[in-house]
């Protein structure tokens, strides 16, 4: 399994569809990591679901369904910019332990 990571930023709403489409070309599943209550994160989740057909909105590690995630070859991760880097690293480590081969880190610009 490959993991592709995008970090959202303040220009997110303007260009998210284009960036999500870019991830969707490679990913079988997109995990949106951030506060579930944030409208931006909900919008990213909805757009990801439309583009890929498989998406998870994860506010905590408990929201990651590893048995479900194992089905996918390539996983894209979109990170809320307010989320600590350590939380992202924990998630990536968890996915690696779930037979992830590697990941690509890209920023939203």
Residue 1 within a domain: no
Residue 46 within a domain: yes
Q: How many domains does the chain have?
A: 1
At 10, is the pLDDT very low, low, confident or very high (cuts 50, 70, 90)? low
C-alpha span between 56 and 33 (Å, rounded): 8
Residue 13 within a domain: yes
Q: What is the pLDDT of residues 76-105, one digit of tens each?
A: 888 887 788 888 888 888 877 776 554 544
Residue 92 within a domain: no
Residue 2 within a domain: no
We report the CATH number of the domain holding residue 20 as 3.40.1010.20
Tell me the helices (H) and strands (E) count for the chain, helix number first. Answer: 4, 5
**99's torsion region: left (phi>0), alpha (psi -120 to 50) or beta?**
left
Residue 90 within a domain: no
What SS3 class is residue 72?
coil
Q: What is the pLDDT of residues 29-63, one digit of tens each?
A: 999 888 889 888 898 899 999 999 999 999 888 88
| Residues whose CB is less than 8 angstroms from the CB of residue 7 and which lie 6 or more positions away in sequence, other chains included | 78, 79, 81, 88, 105, 106, 107, 108
Residue 24 within a domain: yes
Domain that holds residue 58: 9-77+97-107
Show the CA angle centred on residue 11, arms to residues 9 and 17, nearest 5°: 100
Would the pLDDT of 23 be above 80? yes
Residue 30 within a domain: yes
């Amino acid at each position: 399994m490959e993991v592709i990571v995008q970090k959202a930023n303040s220009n997110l709403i303007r260009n998210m569809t284009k960036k999500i489409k870019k991830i969707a070309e490679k990913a079988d599943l997109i995990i949106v990591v951030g506060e579930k209550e944030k409208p931006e994160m909900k919008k990213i989740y909805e757009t990801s679901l439309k583009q890929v057909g498989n998406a998870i909105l994860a506010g905590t590690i408990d929201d990651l369904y590893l048995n479900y995630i194992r089905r996918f070859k390539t996983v894209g991760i979109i990170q809320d910019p307010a989320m600590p880097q350590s939380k992202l690293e924990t998630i990536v480590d968890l996915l690696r332990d779930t037979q992830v081969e590697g990941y690509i880190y890209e920023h939203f610009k």
